[in-house]
Amino acid sequence: MVYDIYWGAGSPNSWRTLLGLEVKGLKYNSNLLEFSKREHQTTEMLALNPRGLLPILKDGANSIYESIAILAYLDQQNPHKPLFGVTPTETGYIWQRVFEVENYLCIPLLDIIRPVFFDDVRDNIDAIEKAASYVHSEFKTLETQLEFEDYLAGNKISAADVVVFPYIQALLRALSLPEGKPLDLDFLPFEKKYPNISAWIERITKIPGYENTYPPNWKN
């Protein structure tokens, strides 16, 4: 079985699904669409996702959107290297961690990342600073947890890691851009400020196939 994944460069939600496919070692056709050309909102793509957003997974006649739903679909269909655990205890804990990172970390991260990527920092500075304080508070919790465990829901990579990893990479990318560099949000140098999260990032970048997931527009 070969899946088709439709994704956009630099989209953290797309990155989640590519990472999920690689972690699970699944074969897929990679369909990179250009947001700037509205390729994600053609009639054909809107038939797959009426919201006009990426990522979308196509599996024969079946199509599915929403990045976390795609991860769950892949996991259900391919039980090896499970992202959502095997036992009820593991599954419950992993979903708990997925919702925690989605609700309390990815949302404030997006409040920082989006204005930087869309060159709208000046009008959003108060919201960015407020979001940074939420992110620091969540990062402190992760930092402590990662002192004792390799991943966010235990010692094996799970959906919780896959869901939040692209957002943390996007934060670091945003802070390196000319629009983000002047922001003084106290995240850098990241390896000094958050050494355990940095080691976790490093661990994930070593996953075979990781380079296939890295946003092509970030490579230079």
Ligand X SMILES: N[C@@H](CCC(=O)N[C@@H](CS)C(=O)NCC(=O)O)C(=O)O
**Contacts with ligand X, 39-58, as mask; x by CB under 6 A:** -x-----------xxxx---
117 vs 188 by CB, closer to ligand X: 117
Part in contact with ligand X (CB under 6 A); list of ranges 9-17, 77-85, 123-131, 200-208? 9-17
User: Whose CA is closest to 157, among 215, 201, 107?
Assistant: 201
The verdict on 13 binding ligand X (CB under 6 A) reads yes
Q: Which of 35, 99, 118, 218 binds ligand X (CB under 6 A)?
A: 35
User: What's the order of all strands across the beta sheet hosting 3-8?
Assistant: 28-33, 3-8, 56-59, 62-65
Query: Residue 11 interacts with ligand X (CB under 6 A)?
Result: yes
Q: In the stretch 65-84, what mask flags binding to ligand X with x, by CB under 6 A? A: -xx-----------------
Contact by Cβ (8 Å): 112, 105: no
Rounded-to-integer distance, Cα 106 and Cα 159, Å = 14
Q: Considering beta carbons, is residue 115 or 198 the nearer one to ligand X? A: 115
Contact flag: residue 12 with ligand X (CB under 6 A):
yes
Scanning 8-16, 118-126, 143-151, 203-211 for contacts with ligand X by CB under 6 A, the matching segment is 8-16
3-state secondary structure at position 30:
strand
The CB-of-9 to ligand X minimum distance in angstroms stands at: 10
CA–CA separation, 63 vs 208, rounded Å? 26
In the complex, least distance from residue 36 CB atom to ligand X, rounded to whole angstroms: 10
Does residue 20 bind ligand X (CB under 6 A)? no
- Residues contacting 71, CB < 8 A, separation 6+: 16, 17, 20, 83, 84, 159, 162, 163
Candidates 11-19, 80-88, 134-142, 145-153 — which segment interacts with ligand X by CB under 6 A? 11-19
Report yes or no: 196 and 133 within 8 Å, Cβ to Cβ.
Answer: no
Instruction: State the Cα–Cα distance between residues 158 and 151, nearest whole angstrom.
Output: 8
Residues 6+ apart with CB under 8 A from 114: 120
Min CB(55)–ligand X separation in Å: 6
**Binding interface with ligand X (CB under 6 A):** 8, 11-13, 35, 40, 52-55, 66-67
